Structure formats: structure tokens, C-alpha cells
Amino acid sequence: MSRTPLLLAAALACAIPAAGAVAAVPDSASICGRVSVFDASPRSRHLYPAVLIAVDGNLPGPTEATSFRLTPGRHLLTVAENIDAEQFASLPQFERGRAGRERYKTLEIDVQPGVTYRLAAQFNLDRRASIKDNAYWDPTIWSEVAE
């Protein structure tokens, strides 16, 4: 078998479906990148779980997934925080619950092939009461791992 069909098959394995930028095909880590929301972020750095809401405006995949395959290039991630409730007093916690989609933030990343980007919510302790202006957290890539 020649290399051309193999390269074409690998490229198609990471091709963007019509509905978005997330591929739902067998692993092709050599040409795809990944965004991981698996909660391994260090609390000592005030990093908490993040929820990937959308990639380039489209749903990223199954809700139970912790890793999402993306084509190389720039992508806009829509992210929600999942900071532990005990980090907030009762009134700010109540305000967080009412915020809904206004709590979402975006993060632009440049995906490289064969790299997993670990996504988290950076909790800004000095702004923990700034719920209404959404300043208490920021989406962040806390680690990049070459696969």
C-alpha cells in the first residue's frame, strides 16, 4: 500500500465534521491535538475543574467525555467553571447559581498536532466576591503534554 492513502486516511481521521471542529473517529494523535478536562489540576495553584461547553461554537462531543480531539490550528473554546462551592460565601454562591450562560468565558488556543492541552478554571482568590462581573475566574491551559 502506498503512503498517499495512509496519509489521506490519517488526515480524514482528524477532519472537521460539518457541525464543528471535533472529530469523532479513531485515534490519530500524530495529526490531531486534544483538549482534556480530566480533573487533575493542582488545587495548590487554585486550579479547579472546567467544563468544555463548545469548540468554535459547536458542541464538543459526549457529555461524559474528558478528552476532545481537535484539528491543528486556532480554536475558540467556550468554558464554564466548576469551582468547589465551599470556596464561596452563601450570597456569592447563590449569585453563581443564577448566572447561567453569563458565567461562560472563551479561550482561544492554537492546537498543535500530538499535544494534549489540559483545561482548568483558574480561581482568582482576590476577586472571589466579584461574581456579577465574572472576574473571580479565568479559563486556562495549565499543562501541555506531548503525546
Rounded Cα–Cα distance for residues 41 and 123 (Å): 12
The cell numbers describing 37, all together, are 478536562
Q: What is the pLDDT of residue 30?
A: 61
CA torsion through residues 59, 62, 64, 70, sign: negative
DSSP β-ladder status, 67-70 and 33-36: antiparallel
pLDDT at 3 over 70: no
Q: What is the pLDDT of residues 14-54, one digit of tens each?
A: 544 434 445 444 444 568 999 999 999 999 999 999 999 99
